[in-house]
Amino acid sequence: MKGTTILLSTIFLMLMGCQPHRDEVDALLRSRADALNKEAFTARYNDATKSAAVARQSLAFIDDSLPRYDDGKLRAWNILATSFFNRSIHDSVSIYVDSILNYQGPAANREMEQVLAKLLKARLLQRQCDIAGCYQILYDIEHSGLLNDKSDNILVNLAKSEFFIGTNTLNYHYRNKSQYEQAELMVAMEEQRDMLHCDYAEDLSFNYAIAYGYYALCNDTVHQSEYLAKALSYCDENLRLLGNPSRFSTYHLANTYQLLGFILWNRNIMDDSWRKNASLLIDICDYVTEAFGFEILEKTNHDSQLAALNSQLSYAFHREAAALFFLHDNPYQRLGAVVAAGRCSLSINDTATARDYFMEGLNTIPAPHLAPKLEALLYESLLLSGCARSQDDVRNWTTELIHLNNLIKQNERADFILQQELNRTHRSSMVRLALAIVMAVMALTLLVTLLLLRRRTLALQRETKQLQEANQRDVERIANVETCLSVLRHDITPFVSYLQNDKLPNELRSEVTGQLIRTFENIKNWTKLSIPSGLQFRKSKVPLQEVFDEVSHSVMEFHAPSVKLTFVATDICAVGDRQLIEITLRNLVNNAMQHTQQGSVTVQAEIYSDDQRFAHVTVSDTGSGMTPEQLDTLFRSDKKIKNTPEVGYGSGFGLMLCRYIIKLHDDNTLRGCRIWAESEPGNGSIFHFLIQLSTTNSQS
């Protein structure tokens, strides 16, 4: 029992140890399946039988080793459907297409593989002349938005390429689209051409489709020479791609030869258009001879070919195309090739050869009525060329031709009805879209109007506020002037009275004169600060000890011996205008000394305890102090100064100047700068102001 447990544990651990390699093994298996699918995809045109065989190998490998690799399975199904389409085994095409369209699994590429399957189904319906069914599929794909993917993905590029090819083929083979619509499609295809690389085979198919589209536009006589040049240029490009041995394909070479045959056979192309493109046609023929050994120009006269659209040259291309198509197991292409070669033979009066081609066509027809257009052309050609050996042949062929033409007309009528319905639906959608756009525009207009009204309202509010602020400034300015005059009269009157007294002692006269000088100095500073073009605020780092030293020196000569003036040493630095700070402190110190008869005046600075971003400067004295009413009038320009016999704080112009200076600091440095005073009658006063502290102090 114990040994069994150990064995099971060992096996479990071995399995767990292998687990990290599972993803790597799966990736290798997926790579093998992808390689098989790629090989099958590459061979889809040149060897459709091989393509189907390799795709089946891929499916078998996926079923055995990667049963959940649904992306690989869908890819193999699509390749199988394409290979059967290229061999005209239409029932098998439908089986694989339906399998893809009915698939509802979690494959990452499911939607794009289903688009490719729908496009293949549209081409199948196109062959069967079910124009309405083909157009409905293309219409649904175009309006599904699935082709709007901008990624450079091979499946996306393949789907876009096949959509353009299918639309173009439907237009020039089965519908009478306007020249403008066809030219517009050609421009769109050329714009997308360089961005839709899948493989060289798809590039050849895309070039062929563009060349055929421009060939169909050659009925336009105005731009005929230009369209002919485009058609021949894309044929030439395909021939040069096929000249590369690694890209040679008899299928695409046959397609290109056949298209050149149709172009040369077109009786609507005028001689002048051929003359303008003669050198290009000669280059094509020379390259065909050089690259593929097909000496086409030596069999006809050059001048007659280019001047009269020589039918011999057209026949040579059709004959070579038919020979190449018979190398492939595709009865649809064979039928188209022999009908084209036979009708071209009739145009050059080679009836015997034409009959051979048409009789070969009878043996080439795929399942009945799977290619109604080509079958109708064949029966018509059989009757015109006199191939009938009996009246029964004539009767049978005529019956088939009538039946096929009726089928084609019914399909064309069904397509016309479908187009009308889709156009009505499109118009209704456009009307609804137009109404939605109109409503959206109206809503947007209303929103813009409301926003403009809101913006205008806000602008008016700002203008009103600015006018109110300007008015307030005017009121304050007038109040300042009135207060200035009142303070000036109040402060100067006593000094003038003293100076008029002839008996005034010299010492007192000197002190009065000094006070008068300081008053006028304050008025001068106020004027400079009040006028916008006056004194400018110069912000800098200000060591307060230097300010203390300067103010101490300037006030020492005026202070009374009975008053002790003390500046407490400080290492604090502030941020502001040094000159204005000195004016403020000088005024406060002079004011304190003026109203202190004996005692002390102390100046000090420290970091403000309530907000350490500020330096707190105080000027305290032991003077007479102030009443609450006197405190209320300090620093205020809107309060008239009352003439009282006693001298009190705030009766001078300097305090108003101090308030203004601190406000300038509040506006130009850190918000929160202010000035205030504390006082009680008989207990002295303390004047405070806050200015921004330098960051050097805050860090320390």
101-122 mean pLDDT: 94
The answer on pLDDT for 455 being more than 70 is yes
The mean pLDDT of 547-551, rounded to a whole number, is 92
As given in the structure block, the two tokens for residue 293 are 């050994």
What mean pLDDT comes out for the span 602-620?
Answer: 95
Q: Which two tokens stand for residue 444?
A: 């947007």
**Residue 293: which residues within 8 A CB-CB, separation 6 or more?**
none
Q: Which DSSP string do the residues of 656-697 spell out, in sequence order? A: HHHHHHHHHHHHHS-TT-EEEEEE-TTS-EEEEEEEEBPHHH
pLDDT at 573: 95
Return the H-helix or E-strand segment holding 543.
strand 540-543
Euclidean distance between CA atoms 421 and 414, whole angstroms = 11
pLDDT on residue 643: 38
Which of 323-332, 362-371, 611-620 shows the lowest mean pLDDT across its residues?
362-371
Buried b (16+ CB within 10 A) or exposed e, 54-77: bbbbbbebbeeebeebbbbbbbbb
Closest among 35, 47, 243, 41 to 162, alpha carbons compared: 41
**Which residue, chain included where needed, has tokens 């002692």?**
505
- 216-224 contact pairs (CB < 8 A, 24+): 216/171, 216/172, 216/182, 217/179, 217/182, 217/183, 217/186, 218/263, 218/266, 218/268, 218/269, 218/273, 219/179, 219/268, 220/179, 220/183, 221/270, 223/183, 224/269, 224/270, 224/273
Is the four-CA dihedral 340, 120, 144, 155 of positive or negative sign? negative
Q: What percent of the chain has pLDDT over 90?
A: 41
pLDDT of residue 518: 64
Tell me if 479 sits within 8 A of 637, measured CB to CB.
Answer: yes
Residue 572 has pLDDT above 50, yes or no: yes
Residue 82 confidence (pLDDT): 95
Quote the pLDDT of residue 648.
38
Instruction: State how far the Cα of 306 lies from the Cα of 281, in Å rounded to an integer.
Output: 8
> 432 or 65: which carries more pLDDT confidence?
65
Q: How many CA atoms lie within 13 A of 467 on its CB side?
A: 6
**List of residues 6+ apart from 230 with CB closer than 8 A:** 186, 210, 211, 214
Q: How confident is the model at residue 352 (pLDDT cuts 50, 70, 90)?
A: very high
What are the structure tokens assigned to 456, written together? 């205008």
Contact 664, 529 (CB under 8 A): yes
Backbone dihedral angles phi then psi of residue 676, each to the nearest 5 degrees: -155, 175
First CA to last CA across the chain, in angstroms? 78
Secondary structure (3-state) at 594: helix
d(CA 567, CA 571): 12
Please, what's the largest Cα pairwise distance for the chain?
163
SS3 content of the chain, % helix, strand, coil (to 5): 70, 5, 20
**Cα 396-397-398 angle, rounded to 5 deg:** 90
Q: Is the pLDDT of residue 621 over 90?
A: yes
Q: 165-179, 212-226, 457-471: lowest mean pLDDT where?
A: 165-179
> Does residue 298 register a pLDDT over 60?
no
Give the Cβ contact number of residue 183 at 10 Å: 17
Give the range among 86-100, 112-126, 480-494 with minimum mean pLDDT.
Answer: 480-494
Q: Which residues contact 526 (CB under 8 A, 6 or more apart)?
A: 484, 653, 656, 657, 660
* Confidence at residue 480, expressed as pLDDT on a 0 to 100 scale: 55
Cα–Cα distances in Å, from 639 out to 476, 483, 595, 629? 11, 8, 21, 11
pLDDT beyond 50 at 679: yes
Least confident of 177-186, 418-427, 443-452: 418-427
Residue 13 clears pLDDT 60, i.e. is over it: no
b/e burial code for range 340-374 (CB count within 10 A of at least 16 → b) = bbbbbbbeeebeebbbbbbbbbbebbbeeebbbbb
Least confident of 156-160, 521-525, 561-565, 674-678: 521-525
Query: How many Å apart are CA 76 and CA 96, to the nearest integer?
Result: 10
Q: Residue 20 has what pLDDT? A: 42
- If one compares 513 and 18, the residue with the highest pLDDT of the two is 513
Average pLDDT, integer, range 425-436: 75
Beta bridge partners of 686: 620, 678
Copy the structure tokens of residue 628.
């609450």
Residue 595: pLDDT band (50, 70, 90) is confident
- For range 395-399, the mean pLDDT: 90
Element (H, E) at 617: strand 614-621
Please tell me which of 370-379, 460-469, 659-668 the model is most confident about, judged by mean pLDDT: 659-668
pLDDT at 453 over 80: yes
Mean pLDDT of 50-60: 95
**What is the C-alpha separation between 275 and 293, in angstroms, rounded?**
26
Higher pLDDT, 301 or 17: 301
Which pLDDT band, with edges at 50, 70 and 90, does 646 fall under?
very low
Mean pLDDT of the 515-538 span? 63
Question: Which residues contact residue 578 at a Cβ distance below 8 angstroms, ignoring those fewer than 6 apart?
Answer: 538, 540, 542, 546, 547
pLDDT, position 173: 67
- Tell how strand 599-607 and strand 563-567 pair up: parallel
Identify which of 638, 640, 634 has the alpha carbon closest to the alpha carbon of residue 689: 634
Question: What is the structure's pLDDT at 305?
Answer: 47
Q: pLDDT averaged over the chain?
A: 82
Residue entry with tokens 């050994």: 293
pLDDT tier, 38 (very low <50, low <70, confident <90, very high otherwise): very high
Q: Apex CA 94: angle with CA 422 and CA 50, to 5°?
A: 130
What is the per-residue pLDDT for 641?
Answer: 43
DSSP for 382-419, please give it: HHHTT--SSHHHHHHHHHHHHHHHHHHHHHHHHHHHHH
Quote the pLDDT of residue 445. Answer: 87
List Cβ<8 Å contacts ≥24 apart for 378-387. Answer: 378/335, 378/339, 379/404, 381/339, 381/342, 381/343, 381/346, 381/354, 382/358, 384/346, 385/342, 385/346, 385/351, 385/354, 385/355, 385/358, 386/351, 386/355, 387/355, 387/358, 387/359
Asked if residue 303 has pLDDT above 70, the reply is no
Predicted confidence band of residue 18 (pLDDT cuts 50, 70, 90): very low
Inform me whether the pLDDT recorded for 367 exceeds 80.
no
Supply φ then ψ for residue 76, to 5 degrees: -65, -40
- 505-699 in CATH: which number? 3.30.565.10
The residue with tokens 């058609």 is 231
pLDDT at 560: 66
Report the distance separating Cα 501 and Cα 676, nearest Å: 37
The share of the chain scoring above pLDDT 70, in percent, equals: 78
122, pLDDT greater than 90: yes
pLDDT surpassing 90 at residue 632: no
Q: Which of 44-48, 51-55, 291-295, 696-700 has the highest mean pLDDT?
A: 51-55
Can you give the residue ranges of every domain in the chain? 421-503, 505-699
| Residue 695: band (very low, low, confident or very high) from pLDDT cuts 50, 70, 90 | confident
pLDDT at 530: 57
Could you tell me where the beta strands, DSSP code E, fall in 622-663?
none
